[in-house]
Amino acid sequence: MCGIVGYLGNSVAQDALIDGLRRLEYRGYDSAGAAFHDGNAFSLARETGRVENLASTLRESNPTSTLGIAHTRWATHGAVTVSNTHPHLSHDGKIALVHNGVIENYGPLKRILEGKGIEFSSETDSEVLSNLIAYHYARLEGEEEQFAQALREALSQCRGAYGIAVLCVDEPGFLLGARRGSPLVVGLGDGETFLASDASAFVGRVRDAVYLKDGEIALLREDGFRIITMQGEDAQAVSQPIDQTVEDVEMGDFDSFMEKEIFEQPVALENTLRGRFGDDGTTAKLGGLEGHEDELRRLNRIVFVACGTARHSCMVGEYLIERLARVPVEVEHASEFRYRNSPKAGHTLVIAVSQSGETLDTLEAVREARTKGLLTIGITNGVGSSLARETDGGVYQRVGAEIGVASTKAFTSQVALCAMLGLALGRMRELSPIQGREIAEALQNLPENVASILQRGETLRELAHKYSEAEHLLFLGRQDLYPVALEGALKLKEISYAHAEGYPAAELKHGPIALINPECPSIFLVEEGELGAKTIANMQEVKARSGPVLAIVPEGVEVPDGAADDVFRVPAVHEVVRPIVATIPLQLFAYHFARIRSLDVDKPRNLAKSVTVE
């Protein structure tokens, strides 16, 4: 859950490294550091806090090296201190390393190295790896490809996950990288080569990227690069053009990436939906399903695996797919899936959802499903990601880079794809062409519906200001609006640190109603029809106990006088797209709520964007 960047080229390394770290700061921002090869030794700069602190230090020292590695940290082992900040140098000064991941057996390895007289200066697992590489490097003195061989020997002793970039003081034109469980990508430019956790680190500077697979090592030299396996054999290096632009990873005229990404949703949804409807307009076409039609028709069970916001999108998908396709659906916490011995027999489809495609818990769930012989489909925004490679079929979200830690456009895209999946499966079964056409048209109108809500953002800012002193809030909805309530609560607590909980509205009287008081606002998501009337009755129960109520209500649904303090209207839409339409006001409410409190919405405390550790 850290960001790493390595640079080898014909320009001053510090500029490329700092630019890359700024773009990767969403992956961790406890501390940042850089190491440069200065001919006979490494120069090291490390600072706690944001990347800008490191940038200020480097402006003063102004290193001119053309080879370096850098890191922005999300702490796992050890407190946020300079000594725990990466890069880590080996005890003898021979090796410099940055690491994303967790070395699970670092304790026994550390004791072995301490027994050989090696001293440590940090609490991290990563310093153990730098010293282990240095130990093997010294042991292999005189051997061919001594540096690369030492890295392979060290990694063979490690258990856990890693994405690393490594320098050796004796190899001034050599940069090594390796991955297992944590992402690593090589960027190929004109006269310069990068290693990074994410391609966004070098967008605008390179033409192509090579995404490393687990167990691969990248050997970067001034005259080219090789990819090898842990056994030292050559591996195929498949390069892909970089499809991002500088504009994708820059903030532009917005005050934050979160605000930018909220307002990008009409275009993001258009891109998600584009070209994915059948010629007759009654079904959806998802490339990741092609070739599996017979298996999908025989399905008797679907299991979603995901974490956090992605899991909330799957919970919406559960309602949509069961409604449209009449297939039983379960939603599992990916972190729990592989540790349960639940029945997995029959014609089961496992759908894994992860914006980055690198969420370790989700990947491990996929690996467990494949071990059991189950069909797996991935929904991800990460082109070339591990999830895209390791599933039987993949569906790309196509929403562009999402930098803000609190997911917005990725969530609505995931829900849209779940609706399209439900449409495709439904048409394979009982859903009529007329019903299919209605759903397809509702999805195609979705970007316009979202845009109409965004145009009224000022109203939501005023509502957020009205409730901004609240420290406890409840979010409530029925059926497919229940997971939207969960997502609204999550967004608020992620970026404002207020305590918020989501519940099914009918569960209010089974416990949560005890929390109601004049200082605890309740945000209700109201739908049309009978269930909407029941939700309004729940609102009246809150008002009877002096609880403030903000209701998100479709146009045309009557709200009795006194049932709500404030009502925000959303377009009346088909029930399949209703969860997305209801989500937009909650995103803007949370955004303004946090900004009114003068908080950094892009880098909320203790969080990181891509969770690549267990």
State the catalytic residues: 2, 609
Q: Is 90 helix (H, G, I), strand (E, B) or coil?
A: coil
From first CA to last CA, the distance across the chain in angstroms is 10
- Tell me which DSSP letter residue 609 carries: S
CB 569 within 8 A of CB 585: no
**Main-chain dihedrals φ then ψ at residue 407, nearest 5 degrees:** -70, 135
Query: Identity (one letter) of the amino acid at 552?
Result: I
- Please name the residue ranges forming H helices in 140-195: 146-156
Take residue 589 and report the two structure tokens written for it: 């409410």
> What letter represents residue 379's amino acid?
I
Taking alpha carbons only, the member of 308, 352, 354 closest to residue 490 is: 308
- CA atoms of 512 and 505, how far apart (whole Å): 10
What DSSP letter does each residue of 339-369 carry, written as one string?
T------SSEEEEEEESSS--HHHHHHHHHH
Task: Record the tokens describing residue 367, joined without a space.
Answer: 């690996």
Three-point CA angle 19, 34, 162, nearest 5°? 95
- Residue 606's CB: how many other CB atoms inside 10 A? 9
Contacts 24+ apart (CB under 8 A), 171-174: 171/147, 172/37, 172/39, 172/67, 173/8, 173/67, 173/221, 173/222, 174/8, 174/147, 174/219, 174/220, 174/221
| Contact between residue 480 and residue 578 where contact means Cβ atoms under 8 Å apart | yes
Q: Tokens for 220, please give them.
A: 């970067």
Distance CA 538, CA 508 (A): 7
Strands (DSSP E) contained in 342-461 are: 348-354, 375-380, 393-396
